[in-house]
A and B are shown apart, each in its own frame.
Chain A
Amino acid sequence: MRITSWGQYPLIDAEWNYVTRSHKKTIARGMGRSYGDSALYSHVTSSRFLNLFLDFDSEAGYLRLGAGVTLGEILELSIPKGWFLPVTPGTQYVTVGGAIASDVHGKNHHRQGCFSEYVESFLLCLGNGEVVNCSRNQYPDLFKATCGGMGLTGIILEVTIKLQSIQSTFIDQIILKTKSLEETLELFETHTNSTYSVAWIDCLNQGRSRLILGEHAKGEIKLQNHSSLSIPFNFPVLNSLSIKMFNEMYYRAKKLNQEVYYQQFFYPLDKIKNWNRLYGKKGFTQYQFVIPKAVGLEGLKTILNKLRVANRNSFLAVLKMFGKQNENYLSFPIEGYTLALDFKLDKYLFDFLNELDSIVLHFGGRLYLTKDCRMSEKVFKQSYPQWQVFQSTREKYYALDKFESLQSRRIGL
């Protein structure tokens, strides 16, 4: 069967199976929403039938569920009872297993950290077929390797997470417009007490931005119907002109402060199902890097300058200030600034991204494995210093030669 992930690159032939206790060399796959080749291999194991809820303590906010349940389904269940995900990425169409494997972050990373902070425990099927319960106390090394471990330690079967209580389904949103990157970074610092903060930046115009801040509103839990649009086939409309126009219009958009429904605040792109097809069938990649705080401004400026010189623009350029790094071996966030850039694939793109890699490395930064489809082994090993601990943990728990992806092969894991 032909499979690919969100970036539609690479596209490969693979054998497809559902979770069993014994398997060939494989990689777990949920919704296929990682951008590159982290969930691709000649044989993939789908978590599709791990899609049931197991236990919900709606008094205390603990939820036990199959690893194949999506974040959207969790919210559908939990919101009417006043519970929300303490950390959510920009799409609700990912599985909880995938969220752990990528140790995803959200607009509140500076305050609440990564998804794994709210994972109490999970059942992991190891390479020898044994199923173990991992938590911070039981198999702590395996816990730290699996959170952010890109599925390379085993197959997550069941998960227990802790939810966060909310009083309203709305978010009080404030949008601040800035004229430059300096101003944007300063404002991130000023608003470090805001629960949610993220900035959309215009790459070609000195990094002028819309800094979006948000707080859970008070009031009541009210559900709204949310319509969505679907892009049924590849329909390449994103090019340098349309991107420029979009950025100009978006920057000028008037409505600044308002109460918005949670879906609009957290998942604006989920409104357009299969928006990845707007890049055409050759696909696209998202280049998401983080640069340590001390050299953040300089690093970001160097990268934006590089984009300007190369005349490469990104439809979405999302900037976020990260809080402290956690203990997981391969979790992406380190304290600093992360910028995510989308690029349509063309034959010069990877050369260009290699140049960006050297800038990111120069400033002591690194790339997000979940978005990556092309980073070299050298770049990975240099920027993820704990890769050896990760690797020896895999060895200890029978994962070597058992759980592999195209990505793990490429980066030498």
Chain B
Amino acid sequence: MTKIMIIGATSCIAEAVSKRYAKRGYEFYLVARNENRLKDLANDLKIRGAKSVNYGNHETITESLHNIDIVLIAYGTLGDQKACEQNVGLALQELNTNAISIMTLLTELANYFEQQKSGTIAVISSVAGDRGRQSNYIYGAAKGAVSIFLQGLRNRLYKSGVNVLTIKPGFVDTPMTKDFKKGLLWSSPENIAKGIEKAIDKKKDCVYLPFWWWGIMAFIRIIPEKIFKRMSL
């Protein structure tokens, strides 16, 4: 029986991922702050076929690390870039949520998995971490830091047989992006969840979701800085 721990379990993408694994009869340990939603979600997953569902909060993670096969870290915030530019406190808060707290968790998880010598650590990063842009560089810096941290971790844990997966979604239609104008490049959380499940199953290292974001980001990355600095992306 496979056991999955999901941190940030009530995020839209995480819920969609859970529903997929529930159908496969997985065991769950869910972590989130919204306890009411967590309770309802746990009930839903059991109806969908989950073998067992337990849940808790950030403080209970350590004690719950037993026979976990997969960990998915799915929480994050999309702060107001303009406000962060004016208020370093806000900027640090964003960096703390989206980078430092994740690295803190990963440090503990890495040691656990290294001893266990098997399993998968999957983290939702973002295409925004691939290159700094004026419109979104605080979030981008946090996600970029996480992506690089994961590269190192993957390298370290390879010899222990632990898989580290970096997930880089593009634009996803979730409450985090509620007020954005949606267009051709947008995906549903369900679609992203399908990609995450597949990437975890196939023990991938890094995936762009949907896959064609790889092409877009490859293009964005090769634009020379001389030109890039004049653009308003």
Contacts and interface: CB of A to CB of B under 8 A. Distances in A.
Do the two chains bind? yes
A53 B175 contact: no
A72 to B, nearest CB: 11
A55 B179 contact: no
A101 B62 CA distance: 47
A70 to B, nearest CB: 10
B47 A56 contact: yes
Q: Is the interface of B mostly helix, strand, loop or mixed?
A: helix
A52 B184 contact: no
A44 to B, nearest CB: 12
A52 B44 contact: yes
Given A1-B182, A16-B178, A77-B48, 17 more contacts: A1-B179, A1-B181, A16-B179, A18-B175, A52-B40, A52-B41, A52-B43, A52-B44, A53-B47, A54-B40, A54-B43, A54-B47, A55-B47, A56-B47, A77-B47, A232-B184, A233-B184
Interface residues of B, number: 13
B34 to A, nearest CB: 11
Interface string B169-210: 000000100110110100000000000000000000000000
Interface string B101-142: 000000000000000000000000000000000000000000
A2 interface: yes
Interface residues of A, number: 13
A3 to B, nearest CB: 9
Contact of B181 (A2, A18, A54, A232): A2
A53 B178 contact: no
B65 to A, nearest CB: 27
A54 B181 CA distance: 33
A54 B42 CA distance: 10
A197 B47 CA distance: 33
A77 B22 CA distance: 11
A191 to B, nearest CB: 38
B181 A53 contact: no
Contacts of B40: 52, 54
Nearest to B10: A49
Interface string A1-15: 110000000000000
A93 B34 CA distance: 28
Contacts of A18: 175
Interface in B1-51: 23, 40-41, 43-44, 47-48
Interface in A51-100: 52-56, 76-77
